[in-house]
A and B are shown apart, each in its own frame.
Chain A
Amino acid sequence: MSNPLHKALAALAACMLAGAVRAEDASAVEFSGSGFLSVVAGKVLGGTHDPATDLGYRCPCFISDYAQNSVYESGRVRLLPDSRLGLQGTAATQGGRYALTGQVVSRGSDQGRPELEWAYATAELNSEWTLQVGRKRLPLFISSEVQDVGYALPWVHLPPQLYGWEIVNYNGVNLSWRKPLGDWLATVNLLGGSETARDSDYWHIYNGKHSRTDARWRDIAGAEAKVTRDWFDLRLVYITSLTQNRIVSAGETEYSSPARQRIHGLSLNADDGRWVARAEFLYIDRRTDYGFDHAQLLAAGYRFGNWLPLLSYARYRQTVPAAPDTAEGHDTWSAVLRYEWSHSSALKVQLDWWRDRVAPAFGSMHGDARLISVAYDRVF
Protein backbone atom coordinates (compact mmCIF):
# COMPACT_ATOMS: atom_id res chain seq x y z
CA MET A 1 0.00 0.00 0.00
CA SER A 2 2.93 2.34 -0.49
CA ASN A 3 1.62 3.46 -3.87
CA PRO A 4 -0.46 6.70 -3.58
CA LEU A 5 -3.04 5.17 -5.95
CA HIS A 6 -3.51 2.22 -3.59
CA LYS A 7 -3.96 4.57 -0.63
CA ALA A 8 -6.53 6.58 -2.55
CA LEU A 9 -8.41 3.43 -3.54
CA ALA A 10 -8.41 2.12 0.03
CA ALA A 11 -9.73 5.46 1.28
CA LEU A 12 -12.44 5.54 -1.38
CA ALA A 13 -13.49 1.97 -0.58
CA ALA A 14 -13.64 2.77 3.13
CA CYS A 15 -15.73 5.89 2.44
CA MET A 16 -18.16 3.92 0.28
CA LEU A 17 -18.83 1.38 3.02
CA ALA A 18 -18.81 3.94 5.82
CA GLY A 19 -21.41 5.99 3.97
CA ALA A 20 -23.53 2.93 3.41
CA VAL A 21 -23.31 1.81 7.02
CA ARG A 22 -24.04 5.29 8.34
CA ALA A 23 -27.15 5.38 6.18
CA GLU A 24 -28.37 2.20 7.81
CA ASP A 25 -28.30 0.85 11.31
CA ALA A 26 -24.93 -0.86 11.83
CA SER A 27 -26.83 -3.96 12.91
CA ALA A 28 -28.15 -4.20 9.33
CA VAL A 29 -24.70 -5.24 8.10
CA GLU A 30 -24.83 -8.88 7.03
CA PHE A 31 -21.74 -11.06 7.04
CA SER A 32 -21.31 -14.06 4.80
CA GLY A 33 -18.48 -16.42 4.04
CA SER A 34 -17.68 -18.85 1.24
CA GLY A 35 -14.71 -20.83 0.09
CA PHE A 36 -13.24 -23.09 -2.50
CA LEU A 37 -10.81 -25.98 -2.34
CA SER A 38 -8.87 -27.84 -5.01
CA VAL A 39 -6.71 -30.81 -4.13
CA VAL A 40 -4.76 -31.73 -7.24
CA ALA A 41 -2.24 -34.51 -7.78
CA GLY A 42 -0.26 -34.65 -11.00
CA LYS A 43 2.54 -36.66 -12.51
CA VAL A 44 4.65 -35.98 -15.58
CA LEU A 45 4.45 -39.10 -17.73
CA GLY A 46 7.21 -38.16 -20.12
CA GLY A 47 8.52 -35.60 -22.56
CA THR A 48 11.75 -34.06 -23.70
CA HIS A 49 14.39 -31.85 -22.18
CA ASP A 50 17.59 -30.29 -23.46
CA PRO A 51 20.22 -30.58 -20.72
CA ALA A 52 21.84 -27.42 -22.13
CA THR A 53 18.86 -25.45 -20.82
CA ASP A 54 18.92 -25.25 -17.06
CA LEU A 55 16.33 -22.99 -15.47
CA GLY A 56 16.37 -24.91 -12.21
CA TYR A 57 13.30 -27.05 -12.93
CA ARG A 58 13.49 -30.81 -13.12
CA CYS A 59 12.33 -31.43 -16.66
CA PRO A 60 10.56 -32.80 -18.64
CA CYS A 61 8.09 -30.58 -16.81
CA PHE A 62 4.59 -29.25 -17.40
CA ILE A 63 3.63 -25.60 -16.79
CA SER A 64 0.01 -25.59 -15.63
CA ASP A 65 -0.27 -21.94 -14.56
CA TYR A 66 2.36 -19.38 -15.53
CA ALA A 67 0.98 -16.69 -13.23
CA GLN A 68 1.46 -18.84 -10.11
CA ASN A 69 4.69 -20.55 -11.19
CA SER A 70 2.77 -23.85 -11.09
CA VAL A 71 5.14 -26.34 -12.68
CA TYR A 72 4.89 -30.12 -12.45
CA GLU A 73 8.47 -31.36 -12.39
CA SER A 74 9.37 -34.90 -13.42
CA GLY A 75 9.72 -37.70 -10.90
CA ARG A 76 7.18 -38.44 -8.19
CA VAL A 77 3.50 -37.43 -7.98
CA ARG A 78 3.26 -33.71 -7.21
CA LEU A 79 0.55 -32.23 -4.99
CA LEU A 80 1.69 -28.64 -4.68
CA PRO A 81 1.51 -26.93 -8.12
CA ASP A 82 -2.29 -26.62 -8.43
CA SER A 83 -3.69 -27.36 -4.94
CA ARG A 84 -5.24 -24.33 -3.29
CA LEU A 85 -7.70 -23.14 -0.67
CA GLY A 86 -9.60 -19.86 -0.90
CA LEU A 87 -11.70 -18.18 1.76
CA GLN A 88 -13.92 -15.23 1.03
CA GLY A 89 -15.74 -12.98 3.45
CA THR A 90 -18.30 -10.31 2.61
CA ALA A 91 -19.89 -7.64 4.75
CA ALA A 92 -22.96 -6.25 3.00
CA THR A 93 -25.64 -3.76 3.83
CA GLN A 94 -28.98 -2.75 2.33
CA GLY A 95 -29.54 -6.21 0.87
CA GLY A 96 -26.14 -6.29 -0.81
CA ARG A 97 -26.32 -2.81 -2.31
CA TYR A 98 -23.05 -1.92 -0.60
CA ALA A 99 -20.48 -4.56 0.24
CA LEU A 100 -16.88 -5.10 1.25
CA THR A 101 -15.30 -8.34 0.07
CA GLY A 102 -11.96 -9.94 0.83
CA GLN A 103 -10.54 -13.19 -0.54
CA VAL A 104 -7.49 -14.96 0.86
CA VAL A 105 -5.91 -17.76 -1.15
CA SER A 106 -3.39 -20.28 0.08
CA ARG A 107 -1.54 -22.06 -2.74
CA GLY A 108 0.62 -25.14 -2.72
CA SER A 109 2.79 -23.45 -5.36
CA ASP A 110 3.51 -20.73 -2.80
CA GLN A 111 4.21 -23.15 0.09
CA GLY A 112 0.70 -22.53 1.42
CA ARG A 113 1.40 -18.93 2.38
CA PRO A 114 -1.97 -17.10 2.53
CA GLU A 115 -2.25 -14.01 0.29
CA LEU A 116 -4.99 -11.40 0.18
CA GLU A 117 -5.71 -11.59 -3.55
CA TRP A 118 -9.05 -9.80 -3.75
CA ALA A 119 -10.17 -6.89 -1.57
CA TYR A 120 -12.79 -4.55 -2.94
CA ALA A 121 -15.83 -2.46 -2.15
CA THR A 122 -18.99 -2.75 -4.23
CA ALA A 123 -21.74 -0.17 -4.66
CA GLU A 124 -24.85 -1.07 -6.64
CA LEU A 125 -25.63 2.40 -7.96
CA ASN A 126 -28.94 1.18 -9.37
CA SER A 127 -30.25 -1.97 -11.03
CA GLU A 128 -28.04 -1.36 -14.10
CA TRP A 129 -24.81 0.19 -12.79
CA THR A 130 -22.27 -1.26 -10.33
CA LEU A 131 -19.10 0.41 -9.10
CA GLN A 132 -16.24 -1.59 -7.58
CA VAL A 133 -13.06 -0.21 -6.06
CA GLY A 134 -10.06 -2.15 -4.79
CA ARG A 135 -8.03 -5.18 -5.74
CA LYS A 136 -9.52 -7.63 -8.24
CA ARG A 137 -8.61 -10.15 -10.92
CA LEU A 138 -7.85 -8.59 -14.30
CA PRO A 139 -10.50 -9.94 -16.72
CA LEU A 140 -8.11 -10.80 -19.55
CA PHE A 141 -10.04 -13.95 -20.48
CA ILE A 142 -13.57 -15.24 -20.03
CA SER A 143 -12.62 -17.45 -17.06
CA SER A 144 -9.86 -15.26 -15.58
CA GLU A 145 -11.98 -14.25 -12.62
CA VAL A 146 -12.77 -17.86 -11.65
CA GLN A 147 -9.43 -19.37 -12.57
CA ASP A 148 -8.84 -20.36 -8.94
CA VAL A 149 -12.33 -21.82 -8.40
CA GLY A 150 -11.78 -25.29 -9.82
CA TYR A 151 -15.40 -26.34 -9.26
CA ALA A 152 -16.61 -23.61 -11.66
CA LEU A 153 -14.44 -24.95 -14.50
CA PRO A 154 -14.51 -28.15 -16.54
CA TRP A 155 -10.69 -28.39 -16.56
CA VAL A 156 -8.33 -29.38 -13.74
CA HIS A 157 -6.27 -26.40 -14.86
CA LEU A 158 -7.08 -23.95 -17.65
CA PRO A 159 -5.01 -24.20 -20.84
CA PRO A 160 -1.80 -22.27 -20.07
CA GLN A 161 -1.39 -21.14 -23.68
CA LEU A 162 -4.03 -18.46 -22.94
CA TYR A 163 -4.38 -18.38 -19.20
CA GLY A 164 -0.81 -17.45 -18.38
CA TRP A 165 0.39 -13.91 -18.03
CA GLU A 166 2.74 -11.91 -15.84
CA ILE A 167 0.01 -9.80 -14.24
CA VAL A 168 -3.35 -11.29 -13.25
CA ASN A 169 -4.60 -8.91 -10.55
CA TYR A 170 -4.87 -5.13 -10.45
CA ASN A 171 -5.64 -2.34 -8.03
CA GLY A 172 -8.19 0.03 -9.43
CA VAL A 173 -11.77 0.83 -10.26
CA ASN A 174 -14.34 -0.83 -12.47
CA LEU A 175 -17.78 0.33 -13.50
CA SER A 176 -20.17 -2.21 -14.98
CA TRP A 177 -23.51 -1.85 -16.72
CA ARG A 178 -26.06 -4.50 -17.60
CA LYS A 179 -29.35 -4.30 -19.47
CA PRO A 180 -31.71 -6.74 -21.21
CA LEU A 181 -32.02 -6.01 -24.94
CA GLY A 182 -34.85 -8.18 -26.18
CA ASP A 183 -33.82 -11.81 -25.80
CA TRP A 184 -30.24 -10.78 -25.09
CA LEU A 185 -28.59 -9.48 -21.97
CA ALA A 186 -25.82 -6.96 -22.55
CA THR A 187 -23.07 -6.19 -20.05
CA VAL A 188 -20.24 -3.71 -20.34
CA ASN A 189 -17.39 -3.33 -17.85
CA LEU A 190 -14.93 -0.43 -17.85
CA LEU A 191 -11.79 -0.71 -15.73
CA GLY A 192 -8.65 1.20 -14.85
CA GLY A 193 -5.76 0.82 -12.43
CA SER A 194 -2.23 -0.50 -12.02
CA GLU A 195 -0.32 -3.44 -10.59
CA THR A 196 3.20 -4.23 -9.47
CA ALA A 197 4.16 -7.88 -9.02
CA ARG A 198 7.28 -8.06 -6.89
CA ASP A 199 9.15 -11.32 -7.34
CA SER A 200 6.73 -12.24 -10.12
CA ASP A 201 5.90 -15.95 -10.13
CA TYR A 202 5.54 -15.85 -13.92
CA TRP A 203 9.10 -14.70 -14.53
CA HIS A 204 10.62 -17.59 -12.54
CA ILE A 205 9.58 -19.80 -15.46
CA TYR A 206 11.61 -17.73 -17.95
CA ASN A 207 14.46 -16.32 -15.88
CA GLY A 208 15.07 -19.29 -13.61
CA LYS A 209 13.42 -21.04 -10.69
CA HIS A 210 15.58 -19.15 -8.22
CA SER A 211 15.60 -15.81 -10.05
CA ARG A 212 13.74 -12.69 -8.95
CA THR A 213 11.98 -10.34 -11.37
CA ASP A 214 9.62 -7.47 -10.65
CA ALA A 215 6.89 -6.69 -13.21
CA ARG A 216 4.82 -3.54 -13.39
CA TRP A 217 1.76 -2.57 -15.44
CA ARG A 218 0.85 1.10 -15.22
CA ASP A 219 -2.06 3.03 -16.71
CA ILE A 220 -4.20 -0.06 -17.16
CA ALA A 221 -7.39 0.89 -18.99
CA GLY A 222 -9.84 -1.46 -20.59
CA ALA A 223 -13.34 -2.47 -21.50
CA GLU A 224 -15.13 -5.78 -21.82
CA ALA A 225 -18.50 -6.25 -23.48
CA LYS A 226 -20.61 -9.38 -23.33
CA VAL A 227 -23.94 -10.38 -24.83
CA THR A 228 -25.71 -13.41 -23.44
CA ARG A 229 -28.71 -15.33 -24.72
CA ASP A 230 -29.79 -18.19 -22.48
CA TRP A 231 -27.05 -20.79 -23.18
CA PHE A 232 -24.74 -18.71 -25.38
CA ASP A 233 -22.49 -15.76 -24.77
CA LEU A 234 -20.06 -13.71 -26.80
CA ARG A 235 -17.40 -11.56 -25.16
CA LEU A 236 -15.01 -8.92 -26.46
CA VAL A 237 -12.23 -7.38 -24.41
CA TYR A 238 -9.67 -4.65 -24.96
CA ILE A 239 -7.07 -3.71 -22.34
CA THR A 240 -4.08 -1.45 -22.71
CA SER A 241 -1.25 -0.63 -20.31
CA LEU A 242 2.39 0.32 -20.03
CA THR A 243 4.62 -2.61 -19.08
CA GLN A 244 7.98 -2.62 -17.37
CA ASN A 245 10.15 -5.12 -15.55
CA ARG A 246 13.52 -5.51 -13.89
CA ILE A 247 15.51 -8.65 -13.15
CA VAL A 248 16.47 -8.00 -9.56
CA SER A 249 18.49 -11.21 -9.30
CA ALA A 250 20.62 -9.94 -12.21
CA GLY A 251 21.39 -6.75 -10.36
CA GLU A 252 18.92 -4.50 -12.19
CA THR A 253 17.71 -1.71 -9.94
CA GLU A 254 15.74 0.33 -12.47
CA TYR A 255 12.67 -0.76 -14.38
CA SER A 256 12.93 -1.07 -18.16
CA SER A 257 11.50 1.75 -20.29
CA PRO A 258 7.69 1.66 -20.36
CA ALA A 259 6.36 -0.23 -23.39
CA ARG A 260 2.74 0.11 -24.52
CA GLN A 261 0.76 -3.11 -24.94
CA ARG A 262 -2.71 -3.56 -26.41
CA ILE A 263 -4.61 -6.74 -25.55
CA HIS A 264 -7.52 -7.88 -27.73
CA GLY A 265 -9.72 -10.85 -26.88
CA LEU A 266 -12.75 -12.58 -28.34
CA SER A 267 -14.56 -15.52 -26.77
CA LEU A 268 -17.62 -17.54 -27.60
CA ASN A 269 -19.10 -19.85 -24.98
CA ALA A 270 -22.04 -22.25 -25.23
CA ASP A 271 -23.56 -24.52 -22.59
CA ASP A 272 -27.08 -25.79 -23.22
CA GLY A 273 -26.97 -28.25 -20.33
CA ARG A 274 -25.63 -31.06 -22.52
CA TRP A 275 -23.21 -29.63 -25.07
CA VAL A 276 -20.36 -27.45 -23.86
CA ALA A 277 -18.30 -25.53 -26.40
CA ARG A 278 -15.82 -22.70 -26.16
CA ALA A 279 -13.59 -20.71 -28.49
CA GLU A 280 -11.19 -18.02 -27.27
CA PHE A 281 -8.84 -15.87 -29.29
CA LEU A 282 -6.17 -13.53 -27.99
CA TYR A 283 -4.01 -11.03 -29.82
CA ILE A 284 -1.53 -8.79 -28.01
CA ASP A 285 0.30 -5.96 -29.69
CA ARG A 286 3.60 -5.29 -27.90
CA ARG A 287 5.39 -3.92 -30.94
CA THR A 288 7.35 -1.35 -28.92
CA ASP A 289 8.72 -4.17 -26.76
CA TYR A 290 9.26 -7.32 -28.83
CA GLY A 291 6.33 -7.95 -31.18
CA PHE A 292 3.02 -9.76 -31.03
CA ASP A 293 1.35 -12.65 -29.18
CA HIS A 294 -1.37 -14.88 -30.61
CA ALA A 295 -3.25 -17.53 -28.64
CA GLN A 296 -6.30 -19.62 -29.39
CA LEU A 297 -8.39 -22.16 -27.50
CA LEU A 298 -11.03 -24.54 -28.84
CA ALA A 299 -12.95 -26.89 -26.54
CA ALA A 300 -15.98 -29.16 -26.79
CA GLY A 301 -17.68 -31.54 -24.39
CA TYR A 302 -20.94 -33.39 -23.79
CA ARG A 303 -22.67 -34.12 -20.46
CA PHE A 304 -23.94 -37.61 -19.75
CA GLY A 305 -25.78 -37.23 -16.46
CA ASN A 306 -23.08 -36.48 -13.90
CA TRP A 307 -20.24 -37.05 -16.36
CA LEU A 308 -18.64 -34.43 -18.60
CA PRO A 309 -15.91 -35.53 -21.01
CA LEU A 310 -14.21 -32.58 -22.72
CA LEU A 311 -11.47 -32.20 -25.31
CA SER A 312 -9.54 -28.98 -25.84
CA TYR A 313 -6.73 -27.63 -27.98
CA ALA A 314 -4.78 -24.49 -27.11
CA ARG A 315 -2.09 -22.80 -29.16
CA TYR A 316 0.34 -19.96 -28.41
CA ARG A 317 2.62 -18.27 -30.92
CA GLN A 318 4.84 -15.23 -30.60
CA THR A 319 5.88 -13.07 -33.52
CA VAL A 320 9.13 -11.18 -33.15
CA PRO A 321 9.66 -9.23 -36.40
CA ALA A 322 13.20 -8.11 -35.54
CA ALA A 323 14.38 -11.62 -34.63
CA PRO A 324 12.02 -14.35 -35.88
CA ASP A 325 14.39 -17.06 -34.64
CA THR A 326 13.69 -16.07 -31.03
CA ALA A 327 9.92 -16.53 -31.06
CA GLU A 328 8.21 -18.69 -28.43
CA GLY A 329 5.46 -21.17 -29.30
CA HIS A 330 3.69 -24.20 -27.88
CA ASP A 331 0.45 -26.20 -28.12
CA THR A 332 -1.47 -28.33 -25.65
CA TRP A 333 -4.11 -30.96 -26.26
CA SER A 334 -6.15 -31.79 -23.15
CA ALA A 335 -8.66 -34.56 -22.48
CA VAL A 336 -10.73 -34.09 -19.34
CA LEU A 337 -13.34 -36.18 -17.57
CA ARG A 338 -15.39 -34.45 -14.87
CA TYR A 339 -17.75 -36.20 -12.47
CA GLU A 340 -20.26 -34.34 -10.26
CA TRP A 341 -19.57 -35.92 -6.89
CA SER A 342 -22.22 -33.82 -5.13
CA HIS A 343 -24.04 -30.49 -5.54
CA SER A 344 -20.87 -28.71 -4.49
CA SER A 345 -17.97 -30.99 -5.37
CA ALA A 346 -16.49 -32.60 -8.45
CA LEU A 347 -13.82 -35.12 -9.34
CA LYS A 348 -11.74 -34.66 -12.48
CA VAL A 349 -8.99 -36.40 -14.35
CA GLN A 350 -7.06 -34.66 -17.12
CA LEU A 351 -4.45 -35.76 -19.61
CA ASP A 352 -2.31 -33.08 -21.27
CA TRP A 353 0.08 -33.28 -24.19
CA TRP A 354 2.34 -30.21 -24.46
CA ARG A 355 4.36 -29.71 -27.63
CA ASP A 356 7.09 -27.11 -27.68
CA ARG A 357 7.14 -25.11 -30.94
CA VAL A 358 9.82 -22.58 -30.12
CA ALA A 359 12.00 -21.08 -32.82
CA PRO A 360 15.61 -22.38 -32.88
CA ALA A 361 17.27 -19.44 -31.17
CA PHE A 362 14.70 -19.25 -28.35
CA GLY A 363 16.26 -22.26 -26.68
CA SER A 364 14.44 -25.47 -25.87
CA MET A 365 13.11 -24.02 -22.59
CA HIS A 366 11.10 -26.76 -20.93
CA GLY A 367 10.53 -29.08 -23.90
CA ASP A 368 7.55 -31.34 -24.56
CA ALA A 369 5.60 -32.87 -21.69
CA ARG A 370 2.77 -35.27 -20.97
CA LEU A 371 0.90 -34.88 -17.70
CA ILE A 372 -1.86 -36.74 -15.89
CA SER A 373 -3.61 -34.86 -13.11
CA VAL A 374 -6.49 -35.76 -10.80
CA ALA A 375 -8.48 -33.16 -8.87
CA TYR A 376 -11.05 -32.94 -6.13
CA ASP A 377 -12.77 -29.53 -6.30
CA ARG A 378 -15.39 -28.20 -3.95
CA VAL A 379 -17.07 -24.97 -2.97
CA PHE A 380 -18.55 -24.23 0.42
Chain B
Amino acid sequence: MRRASLLLGALMALCAARAHAEDVVIIVNKANLNAVDIEFVRRVYTGALKGWPDGTPVLAFDQSEDTESREQFSATVLRKSTANLKAIWSQNIFTGKAMPPRLASPDLEMKRVVAGDRHAIGYVRRSQLDDSVRVIER
Protein backbone atom coordinates (compact mmCIF):
# COMPACT_ATOMS: atom_id res chain seq x y z
CA MET B 1 0.00 0.00 0.00
CA ARG B 2 2.87 2.33 0.89
CA ARG B 3 4.48 1.66 -2.52
CA ALA B 4 1.16 2.44 -4.29
CA SER B 5 0.86 5.73 -2.39
CA LEU B 6 4.37 6.72 -3.36
CA LEU B 7 3.63 5.94 -7.01
CA LEU B 8 0.39 7.91 -6.89
CA GLY B 9 2.23 10.84 -5.31
CA ALA B 10 4.90 10.78 -8.00
CA LEU B 11 2.26 10.70 -10.74
CA MET B 12 0.39 13.64 -9.17
CA ALA B 13 3.64 15.62 -8.93
CA LEU B 14 4.35 14.90 -12.60
CA CYS B 15 0.86 15.99 -13.62
CA ALA B 16 1.20 19.15 -11.53
CA ALA B 17 4.51 19.96 -13.20
CA ARG B 18 2.88 19.46 -16.62
CA ALA B 19 -0.06 21.64 -15.66
CA HIS B 20 2.29 24.40 -14.56
CA ALA B 21 4.47 24.33 -17.69
CA GLU B 22 4.34 28.03 -18.42
CA ASP B 23 2.88 29.40 -21.64
CA VAL B 24 5.24 31.11 -24.08
CA VAL B 25 4.46 34.25 -26.07
CA ILE B 26 5.88 35.23 -29.45
CA ILE B 27 7.58 38.59 -29.48
CA VAL B 28 8.75 41.05 -32.12
CA ASN B 29 10.33 44.49 -32.11
CA LYS B 30 7.95 47.32 -31.20
CA ALA B 31 8.78 49.14 -34.43
CA ASN B 32 7.74 46.09 -36.47
CA LEU B 33 4.16 46.75 -37.61
CA ASN B 34 3.77 43.67 -39.83
CA ALA B 35 0.53 41.77 -39.15
CA VAL B 36 1.37 38.07 -39.04
CA ASP B 37 -0.33 34.96 -37.72
CA ILE B 38 0.76 31.72 -36.10
CA GLU B 39 1.17 30.02 -39.47
CA PHE B 40 3.72 32.67 -40.42
CA VAL B 41 5.64 31.93 -37.22
CA ARG B 42 5.60 28.17 -37.93
CA ARG B 43 6.95 28.75 -41.43
CA VAL B 44 9.73 31.01 -40.20
CA TYR B 45 10.83 28.52 -37.54
CA THR B 46 10.87 25.64 -40.03
CA GLY B 47 12.93 27.61 -42.57
CA ALA B 48 10.13 27.90 -45.13
CA LEU B 49 9.82 31.70 -44.95
CA LYS B 50 12.58 34.26 -44.69
CA GLY B 51 10.85 37.60 -45.06
CA TRP B 52 8.25 39.75 -43.32
CA PRO B 53 5.14 40.64 -45.37
CA ASP B 54 6.70 44.09 -46.04
CA GLY B 55 9.64 42.35 -47.77
CA THR B 56 12.27 42.91 -45.10
CA PRO B 57 14.26 39.88 -43.86
CA VAL B 58 13.20 37.94 -40.77
CA LEU B 59 15.84 37.44 -38.10
CA ALA B 60 14.61 34.51 -36.00
CA PHE B 61 15.97 33.70 -32.56
CA ASP B 62 15.63 30.42 -30.68
CA GLN B 63 16.34 29.49 -27.09
CA SER B 64 18.73 26.71 -26.04
CA GLU B 65 17.47 23.16 -26.51
CA ASP B 66 17.49 22.44 -22.78
CA THR B 67 15.21 25.35 -21.82
CA GLU B 68 11.57 25.06 -20.79
CA SER B 69 10.74 27.95 -23.15
CA ARG B 70 12.12 26.06 -26.17
CA GLU B 71 10.29 22.89 -25.25
CA GLN B 72 7.00 24.75 -24.81
CA PHE B 73 7.49 26.73 -28.02
CA SER B 74 8.17 23.57 -30.06
CA ALA B 75 5.23 21.67 -28.59
CA THR B 76 2.54 24.36 -28.41
CA VAL B 77 3.41 26.83 -31.17
CA LEU B 78 5.26 24.76 -33.78
CA ARG B 79 3.40 21.58 -32.75
CA LYS B 80 6.41 19.42 -33.54
CA SER B 81 8.69 17.28 -31.43
CA THR B 82 12.26 18.41 -30.94
CA ALA B 83 13.43 15.40 -32.98
CA ASN B 84 11.03 16.28 -35.81
CA LEU B 85 12.31 19.85 -35.87
CA LYS B 86 15.89 18.63 -35.82
CA ALA B 87 15.17 16.49 -38.88
CA ILE B 88 13.57 19.46 -40.68
CA TRP B 89 16.54 21.69 -39.89
CA SER B 90 19.00 18.98 -40.92
CA GLN B 91 17.36 19.10 -44.35
CA ASN B 92 17.47 22.90 -44.46
CA ILE B 93 21.09 23.17 -43.35
CA PHE B 94 22.58 20.40 -45.49
CA THR B 95 20.72 21.48 -48.63
CA GLY B 96 21.46 25.18 -48.21
CA LYS B 97 17.76 26.08 -48.08
CA ALA B 98 17.94 28.02 -44.82
CA MET B 99 20.20 28.94 -41.94
CA PRO B 100 18.98 27.94 -38.46
CA PRO B 101 17.68 30.61 -36.04
CA ARG B 102 20.33 32.18 -33.87
CA LEU B 103 20.40 31.41 -30.18
CA ALA B 104 19.29 33.99 -27.61
CA SER B 105 18.84 32.50 -24.17
CA PRO B 106 17.49 32.85 -21.51
CA ASP B 107 14.33 34.97 -21.70
CA LEU B 108 16.09 38.16 -20.61
CA GLU B 109 18.61 37.91 -23.44
CA MET B 110 15.83 37.03 -25.91
CA LYS B 111 13.91 40.20 -24.97
CA ARG B 112 17.08 42.27 -25.28
CA VAL B 113 17.93 41.10 -28.83
CA VAL B 114 14.35 41.37 -30.08
CA ALA B 115 13.97 44.85 -28.60
CA GLY B 116 17.20 45.86 -30.33
CA ASP B 117 16.48 44.69 -33.89
CA ARG B 118 13.36 45.62 -35.88
CA HIS B 119 13.64 42.43 -38.02
CA ALA B 120 13.83 40.08 -35.03
CA ILE B 121 11.31 37.52 -33.81
CA GLY B 122 11.57 35.36 -30.69
CA TYR B 123 9.65 34.00 -27.74
CA VAL B 124 9.70 34.17 -23.93
CA ARG B 125 7.67 32.78 -21.04
CA ARG B 126 4.59 34.90 -20.40
CA SER B 127 5.76 35.81 -16.89
CA GLN B 128 8.89 37.42 -18.37
CA LEU B 129 6.99 39.67 -20.76
CA ASP B 130 7.34 43.46 -20.49
CA ASP B 131 6.65 46.48 -22.71
CA SER B 132 10.08 46.46 -24.38
CA VAL B 133 8.67 44.18 -27.11
CA ARG B 134 5.41 43.61 -29.00
CA VAL B 135 3.45 40.36 -28.72
CA ILE B 136 2.05 38.41 -31.67
CA GLU B 137 -1.28 37.11 -30.46
CA ARG B 138 -2.07 33.47 -31.17
Asked if B94 contacts A149 (CB within 8 A), the reply is yes
Q: In whole angstroms, what is the CA distance A103 to B99 when docked?
A: 15
Size class of the B contact interface (CB-based, 8 Å): 20 to 34
Asked if A228 contacts B51 (CB within 8 A), the reply is no
Asked if A151 contacts B86 (CB within 8 A), the reply is yes
Q: In whole angstroms, what is the CA distance A97 to B52 when docked?
A: 15
What 1/0 mask marks residues of chain B from 18 to 45 whose CB sits below 8 Å from any chain A CB?
0000000000000000000001101100
Contact A120/B51 with A152-B91, A183-B39 known, Cβ cut-off 8 Å: no
B28 → chain A, closest Cβ, in Å? 16
B70 → chain A, closest Cβ, in Å? 10
Asked if B84 contacts A273 (CB within 8 A), the reply is yes
Check B6 for interface membership: any CB of A closer than 8 A. no
Check A126 for interface membership: any CB of B closer than 8 A. yes
Nearest residue (CB) in A for B94 is: A149
Check A75 for interface membership: any CB of B closer than 8 A. no
Q: In whole angstroms, what is the CA distance A342 to B82 when docked?
A: 9
Check B93 for interface membership: any CB of A closer than 8 A. yes
Asked if A343 contacts B94 (CB within 8 A), the reply is no
Asked if A151 contacts B87 (CB within 8 A), the reply is yes
Cβ-neighbour of A122 out of B57, B87, B96 (below 8 A): B96
Contact A152/B83 with A178-B48, A178-B49, A180-B49 known, Cβ cut-off 8 Å: no
Check A53 for interface membership: any CB of B closer than 8 A. no
Q: In whole angstroms, what is the CA distance A152 to B82 when docked?
A: 13
List of A residues within 8 angstroms of B65 by Cβ: 343
Check A88 for interface membership: any CB of B closer than 8 A. yes
Check B50 for interface membership: any CB of A closer than 8 A. yes
Which residues of chain B from 66 to 90 have a CB within 8 Å of any chain A CB? 79-84, 86-87, 90
List of B residues within 8 angstroms of A178 by Cβ: 48-50
B128 → chain A, closest Cβ, in Å? 24
Check A95 for interface membership: any CB of B closer than 8 A. yes
List of A residues within 8 angstroms of B99 by Cβ: 32, 90, 92, 96, 99
List of A residues within 8 angstroms of B49 by Cβ: 127, 178, 180, 185
What 1/0 mask marks residues of chain A from 149 to 176 whose CB sits below 8 Å from any chain B CB?
1011000000000000000000000000
Asked if A306 contacts B83 (CB within 8 A), the reply is yes
List of B residues within 8 angstroms of A101 by Cβ: 96
Check A146 for interface membership: any CB of B closer than 8 A. yes
Instruction: Give 17 A-B contacts (CB < 8 Å), ordered by A residue.
Output: A34-B94, A95-B57, A99-B96, A101-B96, A118-B96, A127-B49, A127-B55, A127-B58, A145-B94, A146-B90, A148-B94, A180-B39, A185-B49, A271-B84, A340-B81, A343-B83, A379-B90
8 shortest A-B CB distances, which residue pairs?
A127-B51, A96-B99, A145-B95, A152-B90, A340-B83, A379-B90, A146-B91, A152-B87
Known: A88-B93, A128-B51. 11 other contacts (CB 8 A): A88-B94, A103-B94, A127-B50, A127-B58, A145-B91, A146-B90, A149-B94, A151-B90, A178-B48, A346-B83, A379-B86
A residues neighboring B (CB under 8 Å): 32, 34, 36, 86, 88, 90, 92, 95-97, 99, 101, 103, 118, 120, 122, 124, 126-128, 132, 136-137, 145-146, 148-149, 151-152, 178, 180, 183, 185, 228, 230, 271, 273, 306, 340, 343-344, 346, 379
